[in-house]
A and B are shown apart, each in its own frame.
Chain A
Amino acid sequence: MHELSLAQEVLRIADAVAGDPTRLRGVVLRVGALGCASPEALRFALEAGRPGLRVAMELEAGAARCADCARVVPLGQRGEPCPGCGGFALTVCAGEALRVIGVEVLEEDGAAG
């Protein structure tokens, strides 16, 4: 998708949490394997948009409920069959996240080390 505009949105969220952009040191993102964003492209866009920013990513694996197996199974990509029964009665239930889950903020000056 548009990792550049997604990166801008990540920075907007993180800058607000940090109070001001000069205090923002890093971000932690959860990126789903079945979502619309490429983790590599997003990292590149963030590092280009804010040089020196620490970027950590937690990758959320894809999963789906198989109606035939009546259980949740891992799903690497949409369109793949259920690893259990080989069928396609799958409803995605995990792996679509694109979330800021941590913002690393510079401490106030004078805080004890």
Chain B
Amino acid sequence: MCATCGCGQPDAPPGGLRTRMVALERDVLGRNDAIAAQNRTVFDLDRTFVVNLVSGPGAGKTTLLCRTLEALRGKLPLGVIEGDQQTSLDAERVRATGVPAVQINTGRGCHLDAAQVAAALPALPDLRGGLLFVENVGNLVCPAGFDLGERARVVLLSTTEGEDKPLKYPDIFAGSQLMLLTKSDLIPHLDFDPERCMALARRVNPSLEILSLSARSGEGFGAWLDWLARAR
């Protein structure tokens, strides 16, 4: 048996095997991108505005989300897809606001992908004309590369994380339309320079919109709700 390809022919002569090169252009992430495009088509047809919330762990995505849902509840259809390695703690916090939530547990996975979002949709109620929030796994690196089919990607950075994060993790800031500088109520207790942080973020994404707010105190929250209303 040929040791090279396992066929029944004797081993090839030392001159080597003939090969040919097939030229092509195939995106390695093409499969995810195709599913994301399908998701986007469905969302557009249903007039569902989809927001992909990304950040490092602990930046305040769930707290911001719950306060947002409480403000919008009853005004339009709302739904949430939660992504975490383990537990349904975040989905439970969302459901406590009265809004339906689907929890995806990624296990060892570090980001959500378009297929997971597509699979979660049937478990949500009718969101036509409404808002779907996807709270991604807390991670400033990997979610940057995975289109979910969202209309807007919003990156949260908290004042306790350090103002140089946009330079250190450029891809996720470059791929977002809006940055929310969260926990602004803590600024008096920190050596954090918000202006420098925003300037660094604009270096990696000149068209990034930036809002500073606190989901705890409510400062700046109106501007975030206004942004959502305008973006829809």
Contacts and interface: CB of A to CB of B under 8 A. Distances in A.
Contacts of A102: 21-24
Contacts of B23: 101-102
A78 B19 contact: no
B27 interface: yes
B27 A22 contact: no
Interface string A90-106: 11100000111111111
A30 B193 CA distance: 40
A10 interface: yes
B8 to A, nearest CB: 10
Contact of B202 (A88, A103, A105): A88
Nearest to B9: A109
A70 interface: no
Contacts of A36: 144-145, 171
A28 B204 CA distance: 30
A56 to B, nearest CB: 10
A67 B202 CA distance: 14
B-side interface mostly: mixed
Interface in B1-41: 5-7, 9, 15, 17-29, 31
A28 B23 CA distance: 9
A43 B148 CA distance: 27
A103 B24 contact: yes
Contacts of A111: 18
Given A6-B28, A25-B19, A113-B18, 6 more contacts: A23-B5, A25-B17, A78-B170, A88-B203, A106-B5, A113-B15
29 contacts: A2-B110, A2-B142, A6-B29, A9-B28, A13-B26, A25-B17, A26-B19, A28-B21, A29-B28, A37-B28, A77-B170, A78-B171, A78-B204, A79-B170, A88-B202, A88-B203, A92-B174, A99-B25, A99-B26, A100-B24, A100-B25, A102-B22, A105-B20, A105-B21, A106-B17, A106-B18, A106-B19, A107-B19, A111-B18
